[in-house]
Amino acid sequence: MAVTTPNATEALLTCQADNLVFYQSVRAYHWMVPGHVFFTLHEQFEQLYTALTASGDEIAERLLTIGATPVLTLSDAVAKATVEEVSPKNWKPDQMVQGTIDGLGKLLESFHNAANVADEAGDRGTVALLEDLIQQFEKRRWMFQAYLGSNPAG
Ligand SMILES: [Fe+2]
């Protein structure tokens, strides 16, 4: 079994819960996006929730690798998550993109926190996984920021 601590396990469980709750929000954006940008955003949201399916699976399997039980139910995920659920009925497209940027921000905070705690625990495997996910989801967040014209690089 990999070296880790209860704190690192708990932080990684929060990442998994955040990933799952955010996944469902992005799926809802995919279904509910209205108007002339439908084809663009419907596709982009699909790409994002597909990536979140993969990251959620990687995190859950890392938890099993370090001897923990992943989050198994939706109610446990909602209880443990720091990401808020959204119900985007009648939302405008830009509101959905802003919700995506905000959700990615919370998810990245959760990944950063877990990476720091795992680093203190000497759990290099978990750090490596989270660093890969941080890099990937920072890039995805940048693309949604660029869509809104709010790219930090101007
Ligand atoms: Fe679909």
Distance 27 CA to ligand 1 centre (A): 8
Q: How many helices (H) and strands (E) does the chain have?
A: 5, 0
Length of the chain counted residue by residue: 154
Annotated domain spans of the chain: 6-148
CA angle 61, 10, 120 (to 5 degrees): 95
39 C-alpha to ligand 1 centroid (Å): 11
Q: Helix, strand, or coil here: 4?
A: coil
Domain 6-148: which CATH number of 2.60.40.10, 3.40.50.720, 1.20.1260.10, 3.30.70.980: 1.20.1260.10
d(CA 62, CA 129): 8
Q: What whole-number distance in Å separates Cα of residue 7 and Cα of residue 4?
A: 8
pTM: 0.95
Mean pLDDT by 10 residues, the chain (154 residues): 84 98 98 97 98 98 97 98 97 98 98 98 97 98 94 61
Phi/psi of residue 64, nearest 5 degrees: -65, -40
Span from the CA of 135 to the centroid of ligand 1 (angstroms): 26
Q: Which pLDDT score is estimated for 151? A: 67
| DSSP of 11-25 | HHHHHHHHHHHHHHH
pLDDT at 153: 62
Please give the pLDDT value at position 3.
72
Cα 100 to ligand 1 centroid, rounded to whole Å: 17
